[in-house]
């Protein structure tokens, strides 16, 4: 039914409304199809926008690849179709050998002759330095099962080499990338846990911790009204803006004395609750006589004295401070207070996208941000039904962009207003509506 050397192809950039039956005609013109499967989500059955395609004949696959790959764009797609051997075809991995300790003057042909007895050689390249001199290694191919030493390994010492021949499986792309990252990480010290907390992004980490404290306050205080959630989120915003460098006041989480600019610098009372190791205070129990809203102020940001004789309700104070702050930074703050829904529990991620106008594309995320941090960051603006940071499949490293979906457009707009241009370190977040699938349709 199918040739033994048939190639399974991965097909990407397929509109989600096209099923196998729609795709078949497109691919059939290159040969008889053995199998065509649109990829679906295991749980939701959702069309993933890609497929696997196997032709009966290897040649058909090659023809389809060269005719279609990056050559044509299916209706409604922004990028051209992808047609290439599936990862499962194992190209490039498990079949490439590294050979070290070659003689400086050995050529590709010498090496080919050496390895010919072990099987057909696909490719053989000697790695050379800038001066053209051999660096003593080459990439070749030849059969030896994993876990087994190649018969040539250590078998002989080439003229001029300092030790015997080295033959092993070459690093995969992933291994190479990881190795490079480790080298870089070593220079930057970013794999040191201390610097994750207190290094380049330390201030931002603190802001996140404060946000979490604020969210805890909003979620746990059963007596809190929606305004508390707003105030909590706004407090966090202030903290984050401190971090951004837009605000001169130092952010000292444990000091409890930072104040946003433009806000009363009257003496701030010390925080009664014990300061946790993370720099924010645990919530005081409701029974200790504290007002329910007090936890909001335990983030180390306390814009107004709680005991001020002129204003009784701390929440009112918080809101006043928030408006005051919003007045100073209208572009960043104006729309939030209107658009704030009540905090809701995090919905488990099953649905990927919200309705049109509810899905955000976020760029310039810090490298260390994952789905959880992205969720945290956007939770203050509404029900986050999905938050996904895109990661490189080979390295598991963030690509520094992601998607956040809300259940309503108002939240999405509020998030854009507040977070677009939000400065983190040297970068500013870009937060905008995800491009609609149909690029022609204005929204």
> Nearest distance from residue 16's CB to DNA, in Å?
8
> Nearest distance from residue 200's CB to DNA, in Å?
14
Taking residues 81 to 100 in sequence order and writing x for each that binds DNA by CB under 7 A, - otherwise, the string is -x-x-xxx------------
CA pair distance 46, 351, nearest whole angstrom: 10
Region of 64-72, 199-207, 296-304, 384-392 interacting with DNA (CB under 7 A): 384-392
**Helical pair 226-244 and 314-328, crossing angle rounded to 10 deg:** 40
Residue count, binding to DNA (CB under 7 A):
40
What letter would DSSP give residue 171? P
- CB-neighbour burial class of residue 172 (10 A; exposed 0-12, middle 13-18, buried 19+): middle
Of 259, 281, 264, residue with least CA distance to 272? 281
CA pair distance 243, 209, nearest whole angstrom: 12
- Does 153 interact with DNA (rule: CB under 7 A)? no
**Dihedrals phi, psi of 292, to nearest 5 degrees:** -60, -30
Taking residues 386 to 405 in sequence order and writing x for each that binds DNA by CB under 7 A, - otherwise, the string is x-x-x--x-----xxx-x-x
Region of 78-86, 115-123, 147-155, 253-261 interacting with DNA (CB under 7 A): 78-86
Interacting residue with DNA among 32, 72, 79, 149 (CB under 7 A): 79
CA pair distance 339, 316, nearest whole angstrom: 19
- Does 69 interact with DNA (rule: CB under 7 A)? no
What letter would DSSP give residue 435? P
Closer by beta carbon to DNA, 206 or else 405: 405
DSSP H helical ranges for 46-172 = 58-68, 108-115
- Does 180 interact with DNA (rule: CB under 7 A)? no
Interacting residue with DNA among 26, 39, 57, 334 (CB under 7 A): 39
Closer by beta carbon to DNA, 53 or else 152: 53
153 CB neighbour count, 10 Å cutoff: 17
- Does 361 interact with DNA (rule: CB under 7 A)? yes
- Does 37 interact with DNA (rule: CB under 7 A)? yes
Interacting residue with DNA among 60, 290, 359, 411 (CB under 7 A): 359
Of 443, 219, 238, 440, residue with least CA distance to 321? 238
Interacting residue with DNA among 8, 124, 318, 381 (CB under 7 A): 8
Closer by beta carbon to DNA, 219 or else 400: 400
Please count the residues of the chain: 443
Closer by beta carbon to DNA, 135 or else 435: 435
Region of 77-85, 92-100, 131-139, 331-339 interacting with DNA (CB under 7 A): 77-85
Per the structure block, which two tokens stand in for 191? 């794999």
CA pair distance 388, 286, nearest whole angstrom: 35
> Nearest distance from residue 55's CB to DNA, in Å?
13
Footprint of DNA on residues 47-66 (CB under 7 A)? 48-50, 52, 54
Interacting residue with DNA among 3, 28, 35, 368 (CB under 7 A): 35
Interacting residue with DNA among 13, 177, 197, 408 (CB under 7 A): 13
> Nearest distance from residue 210's CB to DNA, in Å?
25
Of 400, 404, 418, 415, residue with least CA distance to 363? 400
Per the structure block, which two tokens stand in for 424? 């983190």
CA pair distance 82, 97, nearest whole angstrom: 29
For the chain, give percent helix, strand, coil, nearest 5: 35, 20, 50
Of 406, 409, 408, 369, residue with least CA distance to 389? 369
Let me know: does 363 contact 401? Beta carbons within 8 Å: yes
> Nearest distance from residue 352's CB to DNA, in Å?
5
Residues of the shown chain interacting with DNA in the complex, contacts defined by CB under 7 A: 8, 10, 12-13, 35, 37, 39, 42, 48-50, 52, 54, 78-79, 82, 84, 86-88, 352-353, 359, 361, 363-364, 386, 388, 390, 393, 399-401, 403, 405, 427, 430, 432, 434-435
């Amino acid at each position: 039914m199918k040739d033994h050397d048939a190639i399974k192809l991965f097909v990407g950039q397929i509109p989600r409304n096209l099923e196998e039956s729609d795709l078949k005609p497109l691919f059939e013109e290159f040969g008889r199809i053995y199998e065509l499967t649109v990829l679906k989500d295991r749980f939701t059955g959702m069309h993933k926008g890609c497929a696997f395609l196997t032709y009966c004949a290897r040649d058909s696959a090659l023809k389809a690849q060269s005719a279609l790959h990056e050559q044509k764009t299916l209706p409604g797609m922004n990028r051209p179709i992808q047609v290439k051997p599936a990862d499962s075809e194992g190209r490039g991995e498990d079949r490439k050998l590294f050979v070290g300790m070659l003689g400086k003057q050995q050529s590709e042909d010498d090496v080919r002759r050496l390895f010919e007895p072990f099987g057909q050689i696909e490719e053989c390249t000697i790695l050379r330095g800038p001066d053209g001199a051999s660096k003593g290694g080459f990439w070749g191919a030849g059969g030896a099962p994993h876990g087994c030493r190649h018969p040539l390994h250590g078998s002989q010492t080439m003229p001029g080499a300092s030790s015997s021949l080295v033959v092993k499986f070459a690093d995969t792309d992933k291994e190479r990338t990881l190795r490079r990252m480790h080298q870089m990480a070593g220079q930057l010290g970013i794999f040191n846990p201390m610097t994750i907390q207190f290094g380049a992004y330390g201030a931002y980490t603190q802001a996140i911790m404060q946000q979490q404290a604020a969210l805890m306050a909003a979620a746990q205080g059963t007596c809190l009204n929606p305004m508390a959630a707003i105030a909590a989120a706004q407090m966090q915003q202030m903290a984050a803006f401190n971090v951004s460098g837009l605000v001169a006041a130092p952010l000292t989480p444990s000091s409890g004395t930072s104040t946003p600019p433009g806000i009363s610098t009257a003496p701030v009372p010390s925080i009664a609750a014990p300061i946790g190791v993370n720099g924010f205070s645990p919530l005081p129990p409701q029974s200790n006589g504290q007002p329910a809203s007090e936890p909001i102020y335990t983030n180390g940001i306390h814009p107004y004295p709680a005991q001020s004789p002129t204003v009784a309700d701390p929440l009112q104070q918080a809101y006043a401070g928030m408006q005051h702050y919003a007045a100073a930074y209208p572009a960043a703050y104006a729309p939030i207070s209107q658009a704030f829904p009540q905090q809701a529990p995090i919905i488990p991620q099953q649905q990927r996208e919200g309705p049109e106008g509810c899905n955000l594309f976020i760029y310039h995320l810090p490298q260390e941000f994952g789905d959880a941090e992205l969720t945290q960051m956007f939770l203050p603006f509404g029900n986050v039904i999905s938050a996904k940071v895109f990661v490189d499949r080979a390295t598991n490293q963030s690509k520094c962009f992601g998607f956040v979906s809300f259940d309503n457009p108002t939240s999405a707009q509020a998030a854009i207003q507040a977070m677009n241009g939000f400065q983190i370190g040297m970068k500013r977040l870009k937060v905008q509506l995800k491009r609609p699938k149909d690029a022609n349709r204005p929204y």
